[in-house]
């Protein structure tokens, strides 16, 4: 209900409370994603860069303050997997490091990235819990490398 006070012929509006700032989630320019996320990525070397550096913007939060969480094979797993990489917009991906999790190894797998303006939590039973605005991108990749089975493949 709006009330006014008449004071000497002037209308005096009651105090107005400031609205809370509207939080906008991050956005992602898919044309700047490396490699392009719309094609299958054939991994022919043991180190491939995946990056959204320069592709993420958020009007409320600096790109450095956003939460970056990378998941390898999460969609293929029967149980939730914690993020493989966190905190950075670019990674150098070595599929050999994940060879035991990517079965069959030389089949298509998924690498996902969530970028959020709030902390993304991980619960071993529920999986990832995203409470803020977020941007998402995924890559389908096929490892086509021979990994050193005697070592870690790194």
Task: Please say if the pLDDT value at position 4 is more than 60.
Answer: no
Count CA atoms within 13 Å of residue 65 on its CB side: 8
The per-residue pLDDT for 27 is 96
Most distant pair of Cα atoms in the chain: their distance: 90
Domains of the chain by range and CATH?
18-143 (2.60.40)
DSSP 66: S
Confidence grade of residue 23 (pLDDT, cut at 50, 70, 90): confident
Task: Please say if the pLDDT value at position 17 is more than 90.
Answer: no
Count the Cβ atoms, other than its own, within 10 Å of residue 113: 25
pLDDT digits (tens, 9 = 90+) for 45-71: 999 999 999 999 999 889 899 999 999
């Amino acid at each position: 209900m709006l009330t006014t006070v008449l004071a000497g012929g002037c209308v005096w509006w009651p105090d107005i409370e400031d609205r809370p700032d509207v939080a906008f989630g991050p956005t992602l320019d898919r044309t700047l994603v490396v490699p392009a996320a719309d094609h299958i990525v054939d991994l022919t070397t043991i180190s491939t860069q995946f990056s959204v550096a320069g592709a993420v913007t958020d009007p409320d939060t600096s790109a450095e303050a956003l939460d970056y969480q990378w998941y390898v094979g999460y969609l293929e797993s029967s149980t939730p997997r914690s993020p493989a990489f966190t905190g950075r917009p670019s990674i150098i991906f070595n599929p050999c490091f994940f060879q035991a999790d990517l079965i069959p190894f030389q089949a298509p797998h998924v690498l996902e990235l969530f970028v959020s303006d709030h902390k993304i939590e991980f619960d071993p039973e529920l999986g990832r819990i995203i409470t803020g605005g977020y941007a998402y991108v995924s890559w389908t990749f096929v490892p086509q490398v021979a990994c050193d089975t005697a070592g870690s493949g790194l």
